[in-house]
């Protein structure tokens, strides 16, 4: 693989805005979407990344079973009140749409850095913006990116199981709003009726024990780009749990009257994703698969034998609270401060680097299958909300 420079399209801002990437420039005026460079891979390298993604997904599925069999949710800092709903959802298998594995890849070894399983973003960039960039700049090349058609296919699969309209909710940033809007677009293209609602606008109808929209109509299927751990710590958290088995009675969905017990309201992503989006998963994966070629040594009780490692809060987001330690010395971030849920200590990975930048390879899954890749570059080792997105291709 190699990182190459290229002349950006003269009107790139207009082009990416037109397709939904309205947040292409950072607050300091530097580009977030950076098409002055791109990464080029061989077909063999993409095969390896795709196979690694599928293998890690297999390991994560086994880890989910182990977490529940061994009653390890409390060790992960997951509230006890959520445990019955997580267990029930894991067994009932309500629909799960998508996720993103962040991988370290130096051209030789591939290692899992973390699994963004509940609220991954960077999707408009990966699925849409870099696809259009490829069409404009390298139409004969290929790209690891079938996200768009896989998302539409997944919604089509769900057509008989969900109640419409399917609501799409988010809070805060433009990026989240456009991500939710893009997913809504894919659902519409699959033939589903959709509506948007802000997380703060969702109402709780205590008379009917259900969530409602602004017209007080029941919300029965909700895609929420909002972390489960945040929802559960907010005033409606207990209400959310009340819509899920085992608290909620068995419900039937859609014209096929599917009998699986998904609760009175279908939440996408399902609540069991709390197990995978929690960074304790990294230590549990290593414990279950010590020495696995795609995993880094990771521990919950301290760095143990590691002299160079990354300390991550179990529920950290966008690089917050992460410290990088090399030979016992913190070289990025800080080891001071405490995380209420604790930390995972993960061995430092060999990263893909070029021109002073460190790349993280975000490998997407749709319906549990590898579906594409997006690359983020940082000046340091920590990927955060200022890390640039750069497109890729392969030949």
Q: Which residues inside 104-133 make contact with another protein, applying CB under 8 A?
A: 116, 119-121, 124, 127-128, 131-132
Q: How far apart (Å, rounded) are the C-alpha atoms in residues 258 and 256?
A: 5
Touching another protein, residues 292-321 (CB under 8 A):
317-318
For position 138 contacting another protein by CB under 8 A, the verdict is: no
**Binds another protein (CB under 8 A): choice among 35, 175, 269, 377:** 175
Closer to another protein by Cβ: residue 107 or 172: 172
**Binds another protein (CB under 8 A): choice among 179, 221, 248, 251:** 179
For position 70 contacting another protein by CB under 8 A, the verdict is: no
Touching another protein, residues 319-358 (CB under 8 A):
none
In angstroms, give the least distance from the CB of 280 to another protein. 16
Q: How many residues bind another protein (CB under 8 A)?
A: 73
**Binds another protein (CB under 8 A): choice among 170, 220, 363, 387:** 170
Q: What φ, ψ does residue 261 adopt, rounded to 5°?
A: -90, 95
Q: How far apart (Å, rounded) are the C-alpha atoms in residues 388 and 391?
A: 10
For position 51 contacting another protein by CB under 8 A, the verdict is: no
Angle between helices 43-69 and 280-288 (to 10 degrees): 90
Element (H, E) at 187: helix 174-189
**Binds another protein (CB under 8 A): choice among 12, 32, 144, 262:** 144
User: Long-range contacts made by residues 248-254, C-beta under 8 angstroms, separation at least 24?
Assistant: 253/161, 253/162, 253/163, 254/159, 254/160, 254/161, 254/162, 254/163
Closer to another protein by Cβ: residue 303 or 370: 370
Sole window of 76-84, 178-186, 252-260, 347-355 interacting with another protein (rule: CB under 8 A): 178-186
For position 258 contacting another protein by CB under 8 A, the verdict is: no
For position 227 contacting another protein by CB under 8 A, the verdict is: yes
**Binds another protein (CB under 8 A): choice among 17, 45, 332, 367:** 17
The answer to whether the beta carbons of residues 263 and 248 sit under 8 Å apart is: yes
The answer to whether the beta carbons of residues 388 and 375 sit under 8 Å apart is: no
Short-list 277, 315, 301, CA closest to 67: 277
Here the tokens at position 271 are 């609540």
In angstroms, give the least distance from the CB of 63 to another protein. 20
In angstroms, give the least distance from the CB of 145 to another protein. 5
For position 260 contacting another protein by CB under 8 A, the verdict is: no
**Binds another protein (CB under 8 A): choice among 54, 75, 236, 341:** 236
Closer to another protein by Cβ: residue 66 or 171: 171
For position 163 contacting another protein by CB under 8 A, the verdict is: no
Three-class SS state of 275 = helix
The answer to whether the beta carbons of residues 89 and 272 sit under 8 Å apart is: yes
The answer to whether the beta carbons of residues 310 and 326 sit under 8 Å apart is: no
For position 268 contacting another protein by CB under 8 A, the verdict is: no
Q: How far apart (Å, rounded) are the C-alpha atoms in residues 382 and 364?
A: 20
Closer to another protein by Cβ: residue 212 or 247: 212
Short-list 123, 218, 231, 235, CA closest to 177: 123
For position 212 contacting another protein by CB under 8 A, the verdict is: yes
**Binds another protein (CB under 8 A): choice among 55, 106, 149, 258:** 149
Q: How far is CA 170 from CA 117, 225, 261, in A?
A: 16, 5, 26
Angle between helices 174-189 and 147-158 (to 10 degrees): 60
**Binds another protein (CB under 8 A): choice among 6, 11, 18, 91:** 18
């Amino acid at each position: 693989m190699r990182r190459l420079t290229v002349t950006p399209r003269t009107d790139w801002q207009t082009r990416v805005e037109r397709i939904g990437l309205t947040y292409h420039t950072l607050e300091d005026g530097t580009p977030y979407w950076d098409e002055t460079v791109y990464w080029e891979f061989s077909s063999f390298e993409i095969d390896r990344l795709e196979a690694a993604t599928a293998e890690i997904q297999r390991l994560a599925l086994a880890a989910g079973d182990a977490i529940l069999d061994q009653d390890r949710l409390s060790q992960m800092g997951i509230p006890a009140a959520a445990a019955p709903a997580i267990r029930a959802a894991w067994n009932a298998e309500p629909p799960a749409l998508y996720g993103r594995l962040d991988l370290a890849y130096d051209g030789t070894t591939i290692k899992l850095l973390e699994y963004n399983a509940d609220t991954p973003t960077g999707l408009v960039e990966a699925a849409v913006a870099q696809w259009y960039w490829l069409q404009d700049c390298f139409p004969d090349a290929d790209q690891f990116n079938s996200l768009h058609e896989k998302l539409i296919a997944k919604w089509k699969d769900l057509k008989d199981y969900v109640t419409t309209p399917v609501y799409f909710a988010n809070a805060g940033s433009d990026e989240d709003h456009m991500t939710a809007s893009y997913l809504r677009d894919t659902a519409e293209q699959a033939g589903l009726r959709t509506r948007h609602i802000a997380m703060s606008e969702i109402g709780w109808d205590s008379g009917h024990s259900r969530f409602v929209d602004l017209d007080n109509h029941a919300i029965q299927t909700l895609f929420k780009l909002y972390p489960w751990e945040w929802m559960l710590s907010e005033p409606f958290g207990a209400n959310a749990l009340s819509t899920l088995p085992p608290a909620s009675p068995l419900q039937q969905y859609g014209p096929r009257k599917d009998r699986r017990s998904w609760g009175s309201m279908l939440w996408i992503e399902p609540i069991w994703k709390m197990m995978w989006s929690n960074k304790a998963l990294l230590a549990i994966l290593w414990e279950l698969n010590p020495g696995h070629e795609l995993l880094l040594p990771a521990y919950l009780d301290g760095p143990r034998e590691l002299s160079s490692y990354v300390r991550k809060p179990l529920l950290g987001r966008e690089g917050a609270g992460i410290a990088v330690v090399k030979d016992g010395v913190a070289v990025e971030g800080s080891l001071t401060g405490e995380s209420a849920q604790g930390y995972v200590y993960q061995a430092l990975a060999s990263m893909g680097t070029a021109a002073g930048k460190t790349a993280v390879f975000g490998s997407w899954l749709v319906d549990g299958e590898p579906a594409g890749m997006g690359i983020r570059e940082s000046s340091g080792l920590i990927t955060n909300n200022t890390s640039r997105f750069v497109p890729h291709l392969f030949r």
